[in-house]
Amino acid sequence: MCGITGYTGFNQAGPILLEGLKRLEYRGYDSAGIAVQDESEIKMLKATGKVSHLVEKFEATPDFTGVCGIGHTRWATHGIPSDTNAHPHLSADGKFAVVHNGIIENFAEIRAELQKYGIEFKSETDTEVIVQLLAYNYKGNFKMALMKTIARLEGSYAIGVISADHPGTILAARLSSPLIIGIGIGENYFASDITALVSNTKNVIDMDDGEVAEITPEEVKFYDHAGREINKEIRHITWDIASAEKSGYEHFMLKEIMEQPQALKATIEPRVKDESIVLDELNLDMKKFNRIHITACGSAYHAGCVGRGIIESLCRIPVEAEVASELRYRDPIMDEKTLVIVISQSGETADTIAAMKECRSKGATILAIVNVVGSSIAKLADYCLYTWAGPEIAVATTKGYTTQVVLLAMFAVWAAGEMKTISQGAYISMVKDIMRLPERAQRALDLNSRVKTMAEKYFDNSSLFFIGRNMDYAVALEGSLKLKEISYLHSEAYAAGELKHGTIALIEPGRLVVALCCYEKLLDKTISNIQQVKARGARVLAVAHEGNRAIFTEADDVLSVPVTDPLLVPVIEIIPLQLFAYYVAKKNGCDIDKPKNLAKSVTVE
């Protein structure tokens, strides 16, 4: 949820930390802070609100100097957003400062214990216990004190610590929260995400759970949980700084929507050879499974709802899709004959990780569909398929979602081939349609200016509905979420046939209903539902296939998208809805890339 970064080297740390925090701001943005170690003291600056407020404070503080420091941008979990609760947190003796991403579950117990020794706490955060306990444990050996401290912590953490007595040294540790070390020449870094480092170095080392890193300007040493030094491999990042910047777009979200043809291409092309889907990463005997569970959160769950339809249709195996936050506590019935597919853009979502562990404990095999290379979910899964979408910075996912859907479709075709539930002709036709998705996505993007006009027409609806059937319903879920999360308008997705069982009572003159009409097998039924809402005064914006003329007499406005296979409809149909959400939010003056109360990577329960 939060973003952390650190630097030690020969340059002033302040500007480097602030630059890193700006890039990490999508992970949380209710307050931010930096601390530097200078001479034998720790200097600290904090600001409530966005990183830009912290930058203003920094610019007004010329003596904020130091070549070793840590920084944090916060998404509040314990205690309101305020300067006091903002990280870094300082030990009572002023000797240590810490930044932390994650949750310390046993913080209350540790806090009470330390208070008994007379240690005073300043903030309401769980994080402060880390630094106070560290100072309490410190007997001259910085690393030993940290190892002793983390041995007491329960929950999740990625932490960075500096010490007034250890110039130039940063200690970092992780458990169930992402942490990456950046390797430079005479200077080294850490961050919760590569985006914070990529302008400085492309050589990174992924930290694993239980490990501690000792970072100095000259070298980085790694230790396992028992304090034994270990060797780690350097990974070279292939994408450049432009991928983490807006490249002339006003918002990351628009840039990422527009990048979908390339993202789809990157996900599809390496996996198709001679009209066959080749998933080298999967050495799976599909015949061993008698059911599939898909689990994820938010938009990734919506991708899972699409995946359920595609896999069931092609593989004729029962598939369930369930949000991870429910599945993890439901004691689900599954065993070694169950394949669990977990989907996550970030690969760090706490509920998804917990659901995955629960399923594993019941003997299920775990296949992950993940975007971030080396993320926790990718590492924990038995098998991993990467969506090669590139970095996704906007909080609302777009290319993350469409690449998840296409990868699920590719998996379904591949699995159907393995299980012999698909004819040769149908297999080849699906592969061809999948290969054409990037070009069709581009054509859907050509609707950009028309969608903008629609958004300008309908932006002031205070409450609206997305309806559809089958695949269209799965897309309605995602279209509605996209709109509400960035424009703050009330919006609901409904299976079109369910409206008459209650929700239709909310349809009144002028209410906007977005009707998804690309799943042509059920088009007549959806048209009946359009007529029902129109009869009650609703205005209808339809998304339909090019060539569908009938819809023009039913809906007030129509967005026509390229025709594709019914099972692949969601990849194309969601594109005008993403653009619609974007332009409605823009027209309403919302902060599109950083919607209120949300954060990109949800590493808390």
DSSP letters spanning 302-333: HHHHHHHHHHHHHH---EEEEEHHHHTTS---
Q: Which of 176, 195, 349, 376 binds ligand F6R (CB under 6 A)?
A: 349
CB 493 within 8 A of CB 466: yes
The CA distance from 469 to 406, in Å, is: 20
Which residue lies nearer to ligand F6R by CB, 397 or 402? 397
Min CB(294)–ligand F6R separation in Å: 13
**Residue in 50, 399, 586, 600 annotated catalytic:** 600
CB 244 within 8 A of CB 195: yes
Using CB under 6 A as the binding rule, whether residue 156 contacts ligand F6R is answered as: no
Q: Which of 85, 345, 480, 526 binds ligand F6R (CB under 6 A)?
A: 345
CB 171 within 8 A of CB 342: no
The CA distance from 21 to 57, in Å, is: 14
CB atoms within 10 A of CB 22: 19
3-state secondary structure of 548: coil
* CA angle (601, 349, 297) in 5-degree steps: 100
Pull the structure tokens for residue 319.
Answer: 């598939």
Which residue lies nearer to ligand F6R by CB, 296 or 496? 296
Q: Which of 73, 85, 344, 376 binds ligand F6R (CB under 6 A)?
A: 344
Task: Considering only the stretches 179-187, 195-203, 291-299, 462-470, report the one whose residues sit in contact with ligand F6R under the rule CB under 6 A.
Answer: 291-299
518 in catalytic set: no
Which residue lies nearer to ligand F6R by CB, 37 or 345? 345
Which residue lies nearer to ligand F6R by CB, 26 or 189? 26
Min CB(257)–ligand F6R separation in Å: 12
Residues 351-383: b if buried by 16+ CB within 10 A, e if exposed:
bbbbbbebbbeeebbbbbbbbbebbbbbebbeb
Pull the structure tokens for residue 452.
Answer: 């903008």
Min CB(575)–ligand F6R separation in Å: 14
Using CB under 6 A as the binding rule, whether residue 267 contacts ligand F6R is answered as: no
User: Between residue 397 and residue 416, which ones bind ligand F6R under the rule CB under 6 A?
Assistant: 397
Min CB(112)–ligand F6R separation in Å: 33
CB 267 within 8 A of CB 387: yes
The CA distance from 529 to 504, in Å, is: 10
The binding track of 471-510 with respect to ligand F6R, each residue x by CB under 6 A or -, is ----------x---x-------------------------
User: Between residue 576 and residue 605, which ones bind ligand F6R under the rule CB under 6 A?
Assistant: 601-602
Task: Considering only the stretches 161-169, 205-213, 292-300, 492-500, report the one whose residues sit in contact with ligand F6R under the rule CB under 6 A.
Answer: 292-300
Which residue lies nearer to ligand F6R by CB, 328 or 511? 328
Which position has the token pair 């002031």? 460
Min CB(459)–ligand F6R separation in Å: 19
Using CB under 6 A as the binding rule, whether residue 298 contacts ligand F6R is answered as: yes
Q: Which of 97, 297, 409, 530 binds ligand F6R (CB under 6 A)?
A: 297
Task: Considering only the stretches 162-170, 276-284, 329-337, 346-354, report the one whose residues sit in contact with ligand F6R under the rule CB under 6 A.
Answer: 346-354
Min CB(397)–ligand F6R separation in Å: 4
Q: Which residue in 123, 67, 63 sits closest to 99, CA to CA?
A: 123
Which residue lies nearer to ligand F6R by CB, 1 or 292? 1
Paired with 69 in beta bridges are 7, 36
Which residue lies nearer to ligand F6R by CB, 315 or 395? 395
600 in catalytic set: yes
Min CB(370)–ligand F6R separation in Å: 8
The CA distance from 387 to 400, in Å, is: 8
| Total residues binding ligand F6R (CB under 6 A) | 15
Min CB(489)–ligand F6R separation in Å: 15
Which residue lies nearer to ligand F6R by CB, 37 or 397? 397
Pull the structure tokens for residue 11.
Answer: 């340059």
Pull the structure tokens for residue 419.
Answer: 């299980």
Residues with Cβ within 8 Å of 459's Cβ and at least 6 positions away in sequence, in order, are: 487, 583, 584, 587, 588
User: Between residue 371 and residue 400, which ones bind ligand F6R under the rule CB under 6 A?
Assistant: 396-397
Which residue lies nearer to ligand F6R by CB, 397 or 470? 397
Is 226 exposed, middle or buried, given 0-12, 13-18 or 19+ CB atoms closer than 10 A?
exposed
Using CB under 6 A as the binding rule, whether residue 257 contacts ligand F6R is answered as: no
The CA distance from 396 to 577, in Å, is: 13
Pull the structure tokens for residue 24.
Answer: 């990490």
Q: Which residue in 49, 88, 83, 85 sits closest to 66, CA to CA?
A: 88
Phi, psi of 319 (to 5 degrees): -130, 130
Site residues for ligand F6R per CB under 6 A: 297-300, 344-346, 349, 352, 396-397, 481, 485, 601-602
Catalytic residues, which ones?
A: 2, 600
